[in-house]
Amino acid sequence: VFFCCKGRREHRQQSKMWASVFYDKIYHPLILRSNDGTVIRSHFLIWLITGALLGLGIWGLTEGKREAGFGIEDFFPEDNQANRWASTRTEELASWSIQMNWGKVDYSDPLNQMRVIKQFEDIV
């Protein structure tokens, strides 16, 4: 919308044919024509479409519950035992993120590395 200026003629002759046809037949008559009524209507239509797409995007982001990605249950038919197990696993045995802080650790020492690995293993 903000780059509505006519390019140099010699540059346009070197451009692709479809770009020249688009500019001469569609863009110039609708956006840059000197007739004020056409310019106002075309700009109003552009802003109306922009507002509608923006509103649709905002509605899509705020509407309803959103699930992130696929679960294992999505790969089995609904009447299959594997689907029921995967659905129960997702609802009842969900995982939670944790955080472990050790402070300053000397990672070059193999014993310290083994202690860190052991703590991770003990969590599971």
CB-CB contact of 4 with 31 (8 Å): yes
Q: Is 112 helix (H, G, I), strand (E, B) or coil?
A: helix
| pLDDT at site 100 | 77
* pLDDT tens column, 74-105: 888 889 898 898 888 877 776 666 677 778 88
Percent of the chain whose pLDDT exceeds 70 = 74
Distance, in Å, from the CA atom of 53 to the CA atom of 70, rounded to the nearest integer, reads: 27
Q: Is 67 helix (H, G, I), strand (E, B) or coil?
A: coil
* pLDDT tens column, 107-124: 888 898 888 888 878 875
The token duo for 111 is 């014993």
